[in-house]
């Protein structure tokens, strides 16, 4: 791939990924995630992520005019665009390989601590850390102890960090998958490209990234793939399959199949294994075989169906099963009896009920822009939910909420077709209480209550605090229930069935948070409510910038993976029904 092609590949998404990686490795170099240079590069990545114009076409001076992009950052961006690499980043990658960086995902292990572990105990990866824990060596290090060992061991288990079987959070994998798919779609002769595997059925974390390409000639596809900036090392290069690694250690497998076999291959490589086993048994029962090439007659070998997934499901007597449901948890039986759930589509969402603006300390778009964007997307209703006052840095005082109310009154006149609710994202305290007094809360239209602190309480205490918030008459919905950040923070443990029971009794809904960091409530918990019609959900974006309204699609995917039915998602309801529901509650 020549320089011109490389320039075409230097998209904003790619540059943002590089700058974020640089910031992450700088945390180790500087010894703190709050170091000035680290925060500067993180802020620059935010600015670039919100940029519409191609950053690769901007001069250093033009880049420095962006909010958050300084001279040093602009220089790094130009170095990457002009040369395809950043010398300092390459040095940091050698010094801090992916398996070592993974240690920083464990709560309690900051940059200084993981470097100390490496220097004193030769801990270079999760497996080394497990051995040090088993030998009770960590408690001997300064600032750590037996209690620290216990917490670290528990976090490793809850985060699913298992050494060689390491999995990468979806927020890191999805942009890479989109980048690879977009690049390979542009290769002449390519008919179709899809990512498959666990990413396609929207798992929280991903092992390897599988990309499937329908093309008559594989050579040009493989040449384009190995030339991508994302590829750091090619492990295996073959005629129909190539395996490569990113700088962060993510394995990408690209397979090229004949266009007529694409449906069978996509079905096979999407999985899950349990789902595929059930399908193969159905095929065997009919005297057929099913593999990555085709659904075929067992004797003659003649294809029965292969070009599309839908044709294969139909031949097997099944209704089409969406990728998110293919987990081997009853979807094949449901498809046989035509009893699959009626799932939510992005187009079904009528309102967004968790939205911040610059009135919140961490918001990055103005209130006017957030409301105008919501109206432009065709939403019927929106809830502005700035942080409550107990979140010291970002929360709003009572007076600020009153002031924002005046702005909302103006915006209601400007956008008469959009119902604008004034609310708050309240903080659930350790005892289950929330911000503000009852009289003040009664003046708000819609309140989200979320856990932002006290993550180390017992399951019983966490359940009790959440249930107390559920029964607070001012609380309409519990936001991001566990408070998890996938691959970074495990989130609280609660008795989810008790939470469902409380929500059903109180009429309080549960939020399905759409941010890829969260996807909270987790899908496996959502499935526990799949036979309940007495629990109501809302799918919200928790937007802090106008671009984040697009995240709604991720919340929809997560709801689908959790078998949540459209009828149980309140913000799929028309405005009149939704507003009546709020009033009746």
For the chain, the structural domain boundaries read: 3-96, 99-165, 168-257, 263-336, 346-584
Cα dist from 153 to 158, 162, 382, 457, whole Å: 9, 11, 42, 17
Average pLDDT value for the chain:
93
User: Would you state the pLDDT for residue 312?
Assistant: 98
Superfamily of domain 168-257: Beta Polymerase, domain 2 (3.30.460.10)
CA distance 161 to 207: 11
CATH classification number, 263-336, choose in 1.10.10.10, 3.30.210.10, 3.40.50.80, 3.40.50.300:
3.30.210.10
**Cβ contacts of 458 within 8 Å, gap of 6 or more:** 493
Question: What mean pLDDT do residues 35-41 have?
Answer: 89
Examine the pLDDT at 10 and tell me if it is beyond 80: no
The rounded percent of the chain whose pLDDT value lies above 70 is 97
Confidence of residue 86 (pLDDT cuts 50, 70, 90): very high
162-172 pLDDT tens trace: 555 678 999 99
pLDDT at res. 579: 97
What is the CATH number that goes with domain 99-165? 1.10.150.20
Read off the pLDDT band of 444 (50, 70, 90).
very high
Distance CA 205, CA 486 (A): 8
**In the prediction, which pLDDT does 105 show?**
84
- pLDDT (tens digit per residue) in 116-139: 999 999 999 999 999 999 999 999
Cα separation, 79 vs 73, whole angstroms: 10
The answer as to CATH 3.90.1300.10 being correct for domain 3-96 is: no
Three-state secondary structure call for residue 334: helix
Q: Is the pLDDT of residue 6 over 50?
A: no
**The pLDDT value given to residue 165:** 66
Write 48-51 long-range contacts (CB < 8 A, 24+). 48/12, 48/15, 48/16, 48/19, 48/77, 49/12, 49/16, 49/547, 50/364, 50/545, 50/547, 51/12
pTM of the model: 0.87
Q: How confident is the model at residue 221 (pLDDT cuts 50, 70, 90)?
A: very high
- Does residue 4 register a pLDDT over 60? no
3-96 and 99-165 have identical folds: yes
- Give the model's confidence band at 229: pLDDT under 50 very low, under 70 low, under 90 confident, else very high: confident
What does the pLDDT look like over 105-117, one tens digit per residue? 888 888 999 999 9
The radius of gyration computed from the CA coordinates of the chain, to the nearest angstrom, equals 25
Tell me the CATH number for domain 346-584: 3.20.20.140
């Amino acid at each position: 791939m020549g320089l011109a092609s490389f320039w075409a590949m230097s998209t904003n998404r790619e540059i943002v990924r590089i700058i974020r990686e640089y910031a992450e490795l700088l945390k180790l170099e500087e010894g703190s995630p709050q170091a000035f240079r680290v925060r500067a590069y993180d802020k620059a990545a935010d600015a670039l992520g919100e940029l519409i114009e191609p950053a690769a076409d901007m001069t250093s001076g033009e880049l420095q005019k962006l909010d958050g992009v300084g001279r040093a950052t602009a220089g790094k961006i130009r170095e990457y665009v002009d040369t395809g690499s950043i010398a300092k980043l390459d040095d940091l990658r050698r010094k801090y390989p992916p398996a070592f960086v993974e240690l920083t995902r464990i709560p309690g292990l900051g940059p200084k601590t993981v470097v100390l572990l490496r220097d004193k105990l030769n801990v270079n990866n999760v497996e080394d850390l497990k051995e040090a824990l088993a030998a009770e060596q960590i408690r001997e290090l300064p600032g750590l102890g037996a209690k620290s060992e216990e917490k670290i061991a528990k976090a490793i288990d809850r985060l699913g960090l298992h050494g060689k079987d390491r999995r990468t959070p979806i927020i890191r994998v999805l942009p890479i998958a989109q980048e690879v798919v977009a690049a390979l779609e542009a290769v002449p002769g390519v008919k179709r490209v899809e990512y498959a595997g666990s990413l396609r059925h929207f798992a929280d974390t991903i092992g390897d990234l599988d990309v499937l390409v329908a093309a008559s000639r594989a050579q040009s596809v493989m040449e384009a793939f190995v030339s991508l900036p994302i590829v750091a090392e090619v492990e295996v290069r073959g005629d129909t399959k190539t395996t490569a690694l990113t700088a962060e250690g993510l394995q990408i497998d690209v397979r090229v199949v004949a266009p007529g076999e694409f449906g069978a291959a996509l079905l096979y490589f999407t999985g899950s294994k349990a789902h595929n086993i059930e399908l193969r048994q159905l095929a065997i029962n009919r005297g057929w075989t099913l593999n990555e090439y085709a659904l075929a007659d067992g004797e003659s070998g003649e294809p029965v169906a292969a070009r599309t997934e839908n044709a294969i499901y139909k031949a097997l007597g099944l209704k089409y099963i969406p990728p998110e449901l293919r987990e081997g948890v009853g979807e094949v039986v449901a498809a046989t009896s035509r009893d699959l759930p009626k799932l939510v589509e992005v187009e079904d969402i009528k309102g967004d009920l968790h939205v911040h603006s610059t009135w919140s300390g961490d918001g990055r778009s103005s209130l006017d822009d957030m409301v105008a964007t919501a109206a432009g997307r065709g939403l019927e209703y929106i809830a502005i939910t700035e942080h409550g006052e107990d979140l010291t840095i970002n929360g709003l005082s009572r007076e600020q909420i009153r002031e924002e109310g005046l702005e909302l009154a103006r915006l209601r006149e400007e956008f008469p077709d959009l119902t604008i609710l004034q609310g708050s994202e309240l903080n659930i305290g350790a005892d289950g209480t929330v911000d503000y007094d009852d009289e003040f809360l009664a003046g708000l239209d819609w309140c989200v209550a979320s856990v932002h602190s006290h993550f180390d309480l017992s399951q019983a205490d966490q359940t009790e605090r959440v249930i107390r918030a559920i029964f607070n008459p001012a609380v309409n919905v519990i936001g991001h229930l566990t408070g998890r950040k996938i691959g970074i923070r495990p989130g609280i443990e609660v008795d989810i069935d008790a939470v469902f029971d409380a929500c059903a009794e109180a009429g309080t809904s549960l939020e399905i948070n759409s941010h890829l960091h969260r996807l909270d409530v987790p899908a496996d918990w959502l499935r526990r409510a799949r036979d309940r019609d007495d629990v109501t959900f809302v799918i919200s974006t928790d937007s802090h910038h106008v671009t984040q309204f697009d995240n709604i699609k991720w919340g929809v995917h997560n709801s689908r993976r959790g078998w949540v039915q459209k009828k149980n998602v309140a913000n799929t309801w028309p405005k009149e029904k939704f507003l009546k529901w709020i009033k009746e509650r």
